[in-house]
A and B are shown apart, each in its own frame.
Chain A
């Protein structure tokens, strides 16, 4: 259990997840109010990671449901295990014939088999899928419904029932209530907008690219060997690259990859050559790499100009001015 907002920051920090107050507030509220959280934001800012570290921090098992187009109830909730049922009927054939051996007529035999059919439609033959696992687990779990925007709109409607009541109805068996209430996280990349009905039932958390200061701290924690000064340079340049009009903007995971790559290449300073060579670590489209490549000299040049400006230099401007004046 988290005790307070600060406690969330502390405990997630112990799991190497640096978060700001906004994230911590929402996580704390989700726990207190037993509400699902819809996490949105650009790709790679650590939405899925957040759910993972919370499950670790709380010592809850994480059950993950990866959404994709065409995901349906059978894959998400439960499925009858046909083959097992079939196998059992074959094995139990003798027993079945025994039961109906002294039946007076066909109708009577059918009735007797009918009386037993609950054997074949019992929990024994159900394959629980993630949603059902999360609900029927004895221990409270953490349910992560990942990339819910990739699923079909119908699936979203079906999710609503589970998220609001935490119960599942199986026609053959009846209603199964949650034994423990899971903490639910839904993540979305905004590929399509989720319905208002779903949003209404969730708390909303928008994770954006972190501030420079926060990103340096994350970098420091996740890639411990990286030099502090290099980390700052990387983050600064990264933010400049993010400001460009790119098809896919690099996010934190890319920053981390990049820092690791630079470390592997023994670079202790960002210069145009090495940045140009490693751009494909952070940019995933050829067009983006081109664009950044073109801007790169400008981005880095500015820095060298600044560095030069800091050095005391003789000012040639004044003589030039004088030349104009005379």
Chain B
């Protein structure tokens, strides 16, 4: 049992559920306290000790079924089927077996059947299950990678299991029964039984190998999904992934918030605030029991975001906006502009109560601009320079998000220069890789001299790094 639980723990770990040693020990302790007859209790006990996150429960349940219950039930089912088949041919399995048992008692002591043959005859399922598991392990079935290997590993497992030997043992047994004078009909029934037993065991071994494959695939898929999402380029997201990504972004934003709160706490330690201390201790006759310190204040940054919402960078803008929406309270003020060629302010969306609808509204141009035109960065920046330059002061960080693909229009880089002069910092996030900047219709090279930070930003990891930089 212990070994099985350790195996199961390893399986969970491979699938991306973190189980510490202490938690595995808890699981052992938990099982000591319970009777294990009830499958549900067993499952819940293991889960409460080892799986601590709501979103991992579904994975756990799937793996639990694959690992624990499925195979034993399948084995039982296969033997049940066998009994049914035999009954159709007019063979009563129980009767046959009891007859067999009687005859075996009459035999001399020199009967040596292999463990496997005994387990098959007595239909000892748990023994069989253990043997098949052990054989599969020896055969290295855990290394299975694809469908084509099922046959190979099944064969190796049956070899390890010693099924051939068991067959010979059983046939030998029939010979002896014949010698002891068993009737023709009985012998035939015995032979049929042996044939069926062989077939059933082969089938269950194959089933076991297939399960193993499923488990391995599960591991692979889960791991893949988790790891890849933060690395995956925003360009190639499917609808489903965008949904998933939203959750990831929300979690990241939460983490940054936590870090910020710790940083804020650290800032609180300052010099003694005499005024406040006296005030606070008035009730105690001005004796300073409770000491108050001056807190150093760190300015929360002001933020102006300009997002290119043309279809080529819409996904990047989407997650950037979601990020900023989630982190609103970390800034004194956020103003948000969107552009393709025209530029318009969509700051209102941050007042929207719901993040997803807010972001979609902004991406849609927020009713203020036409999003179905060709990108013109120069025109957009000029508009900003003309109408919105007052939004920027020396505490403002400006974030521009766009690929700088200007369709051979005038870049008007001097607008960016003026913006940078007024702002605290200007950050440009470009979803294209640096090698493409300045080639074709990209005018990134013209803007770059006026940017304090230029970062490639096309996956979540890069995005969160940039956000962290801005907040520090």
- A positions within 8 Å CB-CB of B: 4-5, 21-22, 25-26, 28-29, 32-33, 35, 37-38, 40-41, 82-83, 86, 152-154, 190, 192-193, 196, 199-200, 202-206, 247, 285, 287
Contacts and interface: CB of A to CB of B under 8 A. Distances in A.
Contacts of A82: 284, 289-290
Given A153-B262, A154-B265, A193-B251, A38 B52 contact: yes
B51 interface: yes
Contact of A200 (B20, B40, B54): B20
A199 B53 CA distance: 9
Contact of B26 (A86, A153, A203): A203
A28 B38 CA distance: 14
Nearest to A199: B52
B180 interface: no
Contact of B23 (A5, A26, A200, A287): A200
Given A21-B40, A25-B34, A192-B254, A287 B283 contact: no
Contact of B284 (A25, A83, A192): A83
Contacts of A32: 30, 33
B101 interface: no
Contacts of B44: 21-22, 25-26
Contacts of B289: 82, 86
Given A196-B18, A200-B20, A287-B354, A29 B34 contact: yes
B126 interface: no
Contacts of B257: 192
Nearest to A42: B54
A200 B354 CA distance: 33
B45 interface: yes
Given A29-B33, A33-B26, A203 B57 contact: no
Most chain B beta carbons < 10 A, residue from A25, A83, A247, A285: A25
A247 B354 contact: yes
Nearest to B251: A193
Contact of B258 (A41, A83, A153, A200): A153
Given A29-B34, A192-B254, A247-B354, A206 B265 contact: no
A200 B34 contact: no
Nearest to B257: A192
A199 B52 CA distance: 6
Contacts of A196: 18, 52
Given A82-B289, A192-B254, A193-B251, A5 B353 contact: no
Contacts of B20: 200
B409 interface: no
Interface in B315-337: none
B54 A25 contact: no
A40 B54 contact: yes
B258 A86 contact: no
Contact of B254 (A83, A86, A193, A205): A193
Contacts, number: 87
B181 interface: no
B22 A205 contact: no
Contacts of B41: 5, 21, 25
Given A21-B41, A153-B261, A190 B54 contact: yes
A22 B40 contact: yes
B53 A5 contact: no
B258 to A, nearest CB: 5
A19 to B, nearest CB: 12
Contacts of B354: 247, 287
Q: Which of B44, B48, B258, B285 has the most CB of A within 10 A?
A: B48
Contact of A29 (B45, B57, B262): B45
Nearest to A285: B353
Contact of A35 (B18, B26, B38): B26
Given A28-B33, A192-B254, A86 B285 contact: yes
Given A4-B35, A192-B258, A204-B51, 12 more contacts: A25-B34, A25-B45, A32-B30, A152-B261, A152-B265, A192-B257, A193-B251, A196-B18, A199-B53, A204-B52, A206-B54, A287-B354
A206 B57 contact: yes
A29 B48 contact: yes
Contact of A247 (B22, B26, B48, B353): B353
B285 A287 contact: no
B244 to A, nearest CB: 16
B164 to A, nearest CB: 45
Contacts of A203: 26, 30, 48-49
Given A40-B54, A83-B283, A83-B284, A25 B48 contact: yes
B287 interface: yes
Closest 9 CB pairs of A and B: A199-B52, A32-B33, A25-B44, A204-B52, A82-B289, A203-B48, A22-B44, A26-B48, A25-B41
A90 B47 CA distance: 59
A291 to B, nearest CB: 11
10 contacts: A5-B41, A33-B29, A82-B284, A86-B289, A154-B262, A190-B54, A203-B49, A204-B49, A204-B51, A247-B353
A107 to B, nearest CB: 23
Most buried by A among B44, B251, B353: B44
Contacts of A204: 47-49, 51-52
B287 A86 contact: yes
Contacts of B29: 33
A82 B261 CA distance: 29
A41 to B, nearest CB: 8
Contacts of A29: 30, 33-34, 45, 48-49
Contacts of A37: 48
Interface in B44-82: 44-45, 47-49, 51-54, 57
Interface in B89-108: none
Nearest to B22: A200
Contacts of A192: 254, 257-258
Contacts of B23: 200
A3 B327 CA distance: 49
Contacts of B38: 5, 21
Contacts of A5: 34, 38, 41
A223 to B, nearest CB: 28
B261 A287 contact: no
Contacts of A25: 34, 40-41, 44-45, 48
Nearest to A40: B54
Contacts of B35: 4
Contacts of A153: 258, 261-262
Contacts of A190: 54
